[in-house]
Amino acid sequence: MNSSILQVRDLRVNYYTRQGAVRAVNGVSFDLHTGERLGLVGESGSGKSTAALALMRLSRAPGKIEGGQVLLDDLSLLELPEERMRQIRLAGIALVSQGAMNSLNPVARVRRQIEDALRDHDVKLTPRERTEWIGELLERVGLPRSAAEMYPHQLSGGMKQRVCIAIAICLRPKVIIADEPTSALDVVVQHQVMETLETIRADLGASVILIGHDMGLMAQAVDRLGVMYAGNLIETGGIQELFDEPLHPYTRLLMISLPSLERKEAAKGIPGLMPSLLNRPTGCPFHPRCPDAFDRCRVEEPKLQTVRPNRDVACHLYWDNSTSREAA
Ligand code: SF4
């Protein structure tokens, strides 16, 4: 699992507000390997969903992609003409978002909504082939073929989200970005939809970026995890290693804040609030909340560094004996 299907380098997205520019994604770099399931976690406002939209080139005003590179195989997505990028969406990289199920057209049957996606991408199929493919897609996402003739209001939330997944995979994308795809669903349906997503990923041989804030869900669903804070990626690592030994102080606090069956005491929150991105603190953005902060943290922003194989951390505690990703 070593070749990269997606390479993200120094991705920057700003929101322009009356008060000034907000650096919502502040130079994020990572690789997604072929067949890999990568999780991105962080509190609300950490930049994870903004980064997902930017990868799809779907950032909308007041958001604006300010720089960086996104390579899907050899295609530089941020440099493609808009029409070419429109074709790559779904065919190369697809997004299933929390709100996707509300974006289904209420007056169109499921069949038509999938047909529209196929037509939009000039997929040439005979009517019989199209019907067969739509039926197969619906079965792949755990719906009966008869769902093709239903309208969205006849479907439960879980079924609607499955239709959205069917649309997202109708052109067999290599990368699926799932942004909190189950957060509007109850826990049982959440697990079923996550299982469906995993079956599809394996069937298609796709790679998945799963975005969320639920560390418990991540632990079950991804191979590798990236932790975001204040627009920065601050730690990455294999899911097991990261849970066994979180290195960044913020990741450690996130782990402590997880409810545990073994721990008797109540789960603790992380003290303090995420800083306003309009007025980012100098130095490390986590320093006002960090129990390990020292002088250097207040003046110098730490870079994401490889501190051991498969572990990158942005923290001055690990500054020495490491190689910065930018320099690698
Ligand atoms: Fe804490 Fe300093 Fe590390 Fe930031 S760089 S997480 S303030 S120890």
CATH of the domain at 56: 3.40.50.300
What's the 320 CA to ligand 1 centre distance in angstroms? 14
Q: Which helix (H) or strand (E) holds 163?
A: helix 157-168
Return the best residue to mutate from 292, 303, 305, 318 for the ligand 1 pocket (most ligand atoms within 8 A of CB).
Answer: 292
Of 213, 228, 208, 326, the C-alpha closest to 277 is 228
Q: Is the pLDDT of residue 60 over 80?
A: yes
- Per-residue confidence (pLDDT) for residue 277, from 0 to 100: 81
Q: Which residues contact 195 (CB under 8 A, 6 or more apart)?
A: none
Question: Between β-strands 175-179 and 93-97, what pairing exists: parallel, antiparallel or unpaired?
Answer: parallel
- Per-residue confidence (pLDDT) for residue 320, from 0 to 100: 62
What's the 326 CA to ligand 1 centre distance in angstroms? 19
Which range (81-85, 226-230, 270-274) has the least confidence?
A: 270-274
Ligand 1 interacting residues, C-beta cut-off 6 A: 248-249, 284, 286-287, 290, 292-293, 297, 302, 315-317
- Per-residue confidence (pLDDT) for residue 126, from 0 to 100: 94
Q: How confident is the prediction for the chain on average, in pLDDT?
A: 90
Q: Which amino acid is at 293?
A: A
Could you identify the atom of ligand 1 that is nearest to the CA of residue 298?
A: 7
What's the 44 CA to ligand 1 centre distance in angstroms? 20
CA–CA dist 327, 305 (Å, integer): 9
HSE, side-chain direction, 13 A CA sphere, residue 191: 5
The owner of tokens 């939809």 is 193
CA–CA dist 229, 275 (Å, integer): 10
Question: Between β-strands 4-17 and 20-33, what pairing exists: parallel, antiparallel or unpaired?
Answer: antiparallel
96: its two tokens:
């299933």
Q: Is the pLDDT of residue 265 over 80?
A: no
The owner of tokens 């490491």 is 322
Q: Is the pLDDT of residue 167 over 50?
A: yes
What's the 287 CA to ligand 1 centre distance in angstroms? 6
Position 101 confidence tier, pLDDT thresholds 50, 70, 90: confident
- Per-residue confidence (pLDDT) for residue 59, from 0 to 100: 93
Could you identify the atom of ligand 1 that is nearest to the CA of residue 284?
A: 4
> Which region holds residue 284: left if phi is over 0, alpha if psi is between -120 and 50, else beta?
beta
What's the 22 CA to ligand 1 centre distance in angstroms? 22
Neighbours of 115 (CB within 10 A): 21
- Per-residue confidence (pLDDT) for residue 76, from 0 to 100: 98
Q: Is the pLDDT of residue 258 over 90?
A: no
Q: Is the pLDDT of residue 119 over 50?
A: yes
Q: How many folded domains does the chain comprise?
A: 1
Of 83, 47, 81, the C-alpha closest to 211 is 47
What's the 304 CA to ligand 1 centre distance in angstroms? 12
- Per-residue confidence (pLDDT) for residue 259, from 0 to 100: 59
Residue nearest atom 7 in ligand 1 by C-alpha distance: 287
Position 286 confidence tier, pLDDT thresholds 50, 70, 90: very high
Return the best residue to mutate from 253, 296, 317, 318 for the ligand 1 pocket (most ligand atoms within 8 A of CB).
Answer: 317
Q: Is the pLDDT of residue 266 over 60?
A: no
- Per-residue confidence (pLDDT) for residue 228, from 0 to 100: 96
Mean pLDDT to the nearest integer, 261-285:
73
Domain that holds residue 153: 4-324
Could you identify the atom of ligand 1 that is nearest to the CA of residue 294?
A: 2
Q: Is the pLDDT of residue 161 over 70?
A: yes
Rounded to 10 degrees, what is the CA torsion of 318, 321, 323, 324?
A: 30
The owner of tokens 């049957």 is 109
For every residue of 228-273, DSSP letters joined together read: EETTEEEEEEEHHHHHH---SHHHHHHHHTS--SS--SPPPPPSS-
Could you identify the atom of ligand 1 that is nearest to the CA of residue 234?
A: 6
